[in-house]
Amino acid sequence: MGYIYDLHVHSKELSGCSSSAVRDMVRAYKESVYSGFVLTNHFSGRTNPLLGEVSWEEKVTAYWNAYLDGKQLADELGVDMFFGLEYGYGMAQEILLYGIDVDFLLAHPDLCDNTPEQLTALVQNSGGFVSHAHPFRNRFYVPKDYKHMDLTCLDAIEIFNAGNMELDDAKAVIRCNELGLKITAGSDMHHCELLATTLNGGIEFPERVTTNAELVAALKSGEGKLYRHGTR
């Protein structure tokens, strides 16, 4: 058995839709089959409703501090934890950013002015890795003719998301193969108590990864396999 990582996890400090503190998430993953996870809190625009009116520096520092809080416990417990973001453009246009850190965010105070394609290039040029979260998720508020981003510029597509319908994931697998992109997968975990009881997933790597560079290299290698467990 390899090393399983959940690449899509939220915590309540920065994601209003999550009910779990980052430290409770860490404890839940410690008790699970996973070796670790990436904290990918929702990020859109210059502020976050949970933070009120804050500067760019205050905003990105809050994201980083929530990560550090979890990371401290993760290190104590032997859980491999990474910083990431789920950057939302609205209309279910959400991209997962991996291999970035607070220095990257502080260096780009104009980050929110970028199109999804520009943001993808920015992250890639900084040594990061970008995947489209649940690219074929159907939502009532997304117009049928809404023009989604150019998927070809991405590194990967999320081919499994526990919050998806099976059909949405199946479409993602087909499109990923057509485009020759790498894969990511995750639980889109928002409530730590669900980790043991509902459908969840991630990517299983043959080797353990402990740094952002190792995570990005492992994702780029294409050696990771889809892991999924449980039922919806």
Residue with smaller CB distance to Zn ion, 149 or 217: 149
- CA dist 30 and 35 (Å) reads 8
Instruction: Scan residues 169-188 and list those touching Zn ion (CB under 5 A).
Output: 188
DSSP 84-147: EEEEE-STT-EEEEES--HHHHHT-TTGGGS-HHHHHHHHHHTT-EEEESSTT---TTS-TT--
Residue with smaller CB distance to Zn ion, 86 or 155: 86
Instruction: Scan residues 100-129 and list those touching Zn ion (CB under 5 A).
Output: none
The nearest distance, CB 181 to Zn ion, in angstroms, is 19
For Zn ion, the nearest residue by Cβ is 17
The nearest distance, CB 18 to Zn ion, in angstroms, is 6
Residue with smaller CB distance to Zn ion, 80 or 188: 188
- Contact (CB, 8 A) for 48 and 1: no
The nearest distance, CB 130 to Zn ion, in angstroms, is 15
- CA dist 47 and 4 (Å) reads 33
Q: Any contact of residue 17 with Zn ion (CB under 5 A)?
A: yes
Residue with smaller CB distance to Zn ion, 44 or 114: 44
Instruction: Scan residues 69-98 and list those touching Zn ion (CB under 5 A).
Output: 86
Question: In what side-by-side order are the strands of the sheet with 3-9?
Answer: 182-186, 156-161, 129-132, 94-98, 80-88, 36-43, 3-9, 200-205, 225-229
Binding mask 186-205 for Zn ion (x = CB under 5 A): --x-----------------
Give the β-pairing of 3-9 and 225-229: unpaired
The nearest distance, CB 190 to Zn ion, in angstroms, is 6
The nearest distance, CB 176 to Zn ion, in angstroms, is 18
CB neighbourhood size of 111 (10 A): 21
Binding site for Zn ion (CB under 5 A): 17, 86, 188
